[in-house]
A = this chain, B = another copy of it.
């Protein structure tokens, strides 16, 4: 048996703690050697909770440690691109949360650093590792659906984030629908050529005052001829609404939401079941374990990671095109965005 991959986790907020827990407890072949956070107490608590031997407020300590093979970047979005470049220069393999950055130039600098250093980079589009979507992708790859003709992605949150977050999020298209742009590319296996956006503020006027929308439909024209639609809402009162449908020449695949139990209650008013899982961490927990398991294996076996830097760049570009389509009220080629 090979020695474990030794990882450093940069940023120990919610998602950083989750990744640390999974790497420490549930992923064989991985060892979290150190965690860092600009708030030292957060790093220390994370280290204590999950048995990590070292905690620091300075991520450079992780990058300078020759015993660390790879880093997991979970800090705030504005630091991602810079940290990728730094980590690449230090020769570390990199797992980075999405999005890489909110502008293409920064993404391109980060990817250039990765390419120059020859390290591995995996982007945290965890939904690709979800059992439902993975099964749909598999059906497509196997030809079970024939050539895909139509794609439909529904992605609705149970409640909007705080307005303070909305203001720095990059907006619905880069913060929320970016997952769906990635899913669209992942499932269809072709690039989005052009988008057209309809959007509105229907959930909370404060979101509009912050310059964003909370309800949106984007129509997608793929290079291979598939036509897609994505719809997002910041608030589905029944919980987290996450579904896809692919309609092809030989059949259709649909996913439904995930539920905490399968119980159906037949009462005098209705036939009912409990609401779907409400929180993204509950809904997608297995996919978070799976994506890091795959990253660790790719490093251990020297294979290219399944979600590349280009996979991190392209959804940002599509998101910008979607926003431009809304602003200009016309279809926008993704290639317009450079």
Bound-state CA distance A268–B25 (Å) is 35
State how many angstroms separate the Cβ of A144 from the closest Cβ of chain B. Answer: 7
Task: Decide: B236 and A265 in contact? CB cutoff 8 A.
Answer: no
Name the contact of A144 in the complex, choosing from B25, B199, B233, B267 (C-beta under 8 A).
B267
Q: Are B217 and A150 in contact, CB atoms less than 8 angstroms apart?
A: yes
**Minimum distance in angstroms from A10 CB to a CB of chain B:** 24
A260 vs B250: C-alpha distance when bound (angstroms): 21
| Stretch in A55-63, A224-232, A305-313, A315-323 touching the partner | A224-232
In chain A, positions 253-311 with a C-beta closer than 8 Å to chain B are 253-258, 260-276
Least CB separation from A217: chain B residue: B227
A132 within 8 A of B: yes
Nearest CB on B from A191, distance (A): 16
B275 contacts A233, CB within 8 Å? no
A156 and B247 contact, CB distance less than 8 A: yes
Distance in angstroms from A214 CB to nearest chain B CB is 9
CB distance from A14 to the nearest CB of B (A): 18
Is A221 interfacial (CB-CB < 8 Å)?
A: yes
Is A251 touching B266 in the complex (CB atoms < 8 A)? Answer: yes
Residues of B within 8 A of A257 (CB): 262
Q: Mark A308-338, 1 if CB is under 8 A from B, else 0.
A: 0000000000000000000001110000000
A26 to B260, CA, bound (A): 19
Query: Is the Cβ of A131 less than 8 Å from the Cβ of B219?
Result: no
Q: What residues of chain B lie closer than 8 Å to A269, measured between beta carbons?
A: 275
Q: Write the nearest CB–CB distance from A136 to chain B, whole angstroms.
A: 6
How many identical subunits does the complex contain?
A: 4
Residues of B within 8 A of A329 (CB): 331
Contact of A132 among B131, B254, B258, B263 (CB under 8 A): B263
Contact A229 B231 (CB under 8 A): yes
Decide yes or no: A219 and B202 within 8 Å by CB, A25-B26, A229-B231, A267-B144 being known contacts.
Answer: no
A38 to chain B minimum Cβ distance, whole angstroms, is 26
Q: Give complex CA distance A131, B257 in Å.
A: 17
Contact A238 B263 (CB under 8 A): no
> Which chain B positions have C-beta within 8 A of A256?
262, 264
Q: Does A147 contact B (CB under 8 A)?
A: yes
Tell which of B156, B217, B275 touches A271, judged by Cβ atoms closer than 8 Å.
B275
Q: Please indicate the chain B residues that have their CB under 8 angstroms from the CB of A147 in the complex.
A: 202
Asked whether, in the complex, the Cβ of B202 is within 8 Å of the Cβ of A249, the reply is yes
- Determine the distance from Cα of A295 to Cα of B228 in the docked complex, in whole angstroms: 39
Expressed in whole angstroms, the Cα–Cα distance for A271 and B145 within the complex equals 13
Q: Are the CB atoms of B249 and A265 closer together than 8 Å?
A: no
A198 within 8 A of B: yes
24 contacts between A and B (CB under 8 A): A25-B26, A26-B26, A135-B263, A144-B267, A149-B200, A149-B203, A196-B198, A196-B331, A198-B221, A217-B227, A217-B229, A229-B229, A231-B247, A237-B249, A250-B268, A253-B264, A254-B266, A255-B261, A255-B264, A270-B273, A270-B274, A271-B274, A329-B331, A330-B331
5 more A-B residue pairs beyond the given contacts A150-B231, A253-B263, with a C-beta to C-beta distance below 8 A: A136-B263, A149-B215, A156-B247, A271-B272, A272-B272
> Which 9 residue pairs across A and B have the least CB separation, nearest first?
A238-B266, A251-B267, A270-B272, A272-B272, A252-B266, A131-B261, A256-B262, A25-B25, A237-B268
